[in-house]
A and B are shown apart, each in its own frame.
Chain A
Amino acid sequence: MAGRMAQLSLFAVALIIGLLLVGQLRSQAPTIELSSLSAQELSTLIETLSTSNVELGDGLADLREQIREYESEEARGLSTLDLIREDLERFSAFAGLAPVTGQGITLQLEGSFEPANVNDLIYELRNAGAEAIAVDDVRITAGSVAVRGTSAIEIDGVEIDRFFEIRAIGSPAGLQSALERPGGILRQLEQAAGATVRIIAETDIAVPATERDLTPQAAQPVE
């Protein structure tokens, strides 16, 4: 009887320890610490998330429309090859395999840039919603980064001069305001690289396709 009581007590104690441990570990787990952000940082985060949610919603609506078209073509016994071709064009443009034309901005820059300055600028443009970017004639793909070459900055093996141009396709107003916000990237480039930057809003610019071979050798698709 005493042994049974001891077992029960031990079980109860172990249970409480377990529950408390789980609670403690959960509360200390490195979760997304939103509450640690300042009000300004939270506002920036909400704005960024809201913008991307609108884009994701638009993308989802397009995909649903595409599914309806596939269903309709199938129901009529027609081939869907044209729809597949549209997909091929879309993925090729997204990857940088195909040239892209549209609205956007041209940046004319001059200064003593470090590779990190150029990369920061590219990240800023992407964050502002740029859909396709070219630095001079180099199309920026996922793996295109500015690095220190033997005598100048290089992107994908191509040297970038002291004076260079960036073309970015996206909302001209959105891209421009993101770059020009107080304390933003342009201000930082002025201070860090003595940069002078001219922004031109464009209704029709083109960015070329990449000259890189984007077919991976070591990375294999997982079925």
Chain B
Amino acid sequence: MSRRLPARRRFKRSSWAISIAAALAVIGFIGAAQWNSSLARQVFVTSAQRILVSEAEQAQRLQESLRAQIEEAEARVRSFQERDEGSRSAQERLNQQVAAARLAAGLTTVSGPGVVVEIADSLNPPEDGQLSNYIVLVDDVRDLVTALWASGAEAISIAGGGPGAPAERLVATTSIYGVGASILVNTAFLSPPFRIEAIGPDGLYDRFLGHPSFLTRVAKRIDAYGLQFAHEERAEVVVPGFIGNTRLRYGAPLSEEE
């Protein structure tokens, strides 16, 4: 003789079944997506490209290591400077001058009020078949940076690849250079979304949004092709110091007396 379960228990069991079924459906969906994305990557990378990708990755790893070593060596040099046993007053004066020069050169991490700008490729399907209209170009990033500097920014960094990605400080030797759909900033290879952070005096945000270098080209592309764009004024922005080579190979400082 079969025993009928009480209504509440039957309902409980069926809700379990629904949960498990839903979970299995999610697994199936994610599994399929995972499989598809793996397949896509394998199909489009040729063997020659794979070798080049591997070389580029190797060069990037070497660069990260060199930059980390430079950062460490610079810190050691600074520690020597701070504990110098020579003339105290002369040393203090020199160290203040060095700190001021480092600050002016962009080698020091700084914080202050500023602006955060993010730009990423459009999510709209290319209507005119021109894919390049729908992706962030190096000119877009350059125009944003030009508008920020011209609006009074005192320190700017660019990061690529989403939240938490390391940022590159813009200094006097910084190149912003396009390689395909990605850009090189200093010597780091960044991919969208690009996040630009700038510190500057009051009014930076409004001046930036009204600056011709922003309005002339990039603002029009944002409107026309739906490039993803977000901007915000912040009470505090932190811009890291530049890590890299500061030595001149082909030139030498010319002292004022010369």
Contact = CB atoms under 8 A, between A and B. Distances in A.
Interface residues of B, number: 119
Contact of A90 (B44, B173, B248): B248
A49 B248 contact: no
Interface stretch (B33-41, B122-130, B219-227): B33-41
Contacts of A71: 80
B98 to A, nearest CB: 5
Interface string A108-142: 00000001100110011011001110000000111
Contacts of B149: 142-145
A214 to B, nearest CB: 4
Given A9-B20, A24-B30, A215-B103, A30 B192 contact: yes
Contact of A170 (B19, B105, B179, B250): B250
A206 interface: yes
Interface residues of A, number: 108
B71 to A, nearest CB: 10
Interface string A6-50: 100110011011001101100111111111111101111110111
A101 B250 CA distance: 8
A34 to B, nearest CB: 5
Nearest to A174: B250
A41 B181 CA distance: 10
A97 B101 contact: yes
Nearest to A213: B104
A33 B182 contact: yes
B3 to A, nearest CB: 15
A219 B239 contact: yes
Nearest to B100: A215
A221 B108 contact: yes
B247 A59 contact: yes
B176 interface: yes
Contacts of A127: 175, 177, 184
Given A50-B59, A84-B98, A91-B246, A56 B66 contact: yes
A204 to B, nearest CB: 10
B189 A45 contact: yes
Contacts of B161: 30-32
Interface string B209-249: 00011000100000000000000000000110000111111
B184 A48 contact: yes
Contact of A31 (B37, B99, B191, B249): B191
6 contacts: A80-B81, A91-B104, A123-B177, A169-B248, A169-B251, A218-B112
Given A56-B70, A96-B172, 10 more contacts: A30-B192, A32-B160, A32-B161, A45-B189, A90-B253, A100-B252, A115-B213, A120-B142, A147-B150, A222-B111
Interface of B: 16, 19-20, 23-24, 26-27, 30-31, 33-34, 37-38, 41, 44-45, 48-50, 52-53, 55-57, 59-60, 62-63, 66-67, 69-70, 73-74, 76-77, 80-81, 84-87, 90-91, 94-95, 97-114, 139, 142-143, 145-146, 149-150, 153-156, 160-162, 170-177, 179-182, 184, 187, 189-193, 199-201, 204, 212-213, 217, 238-239, 244-256
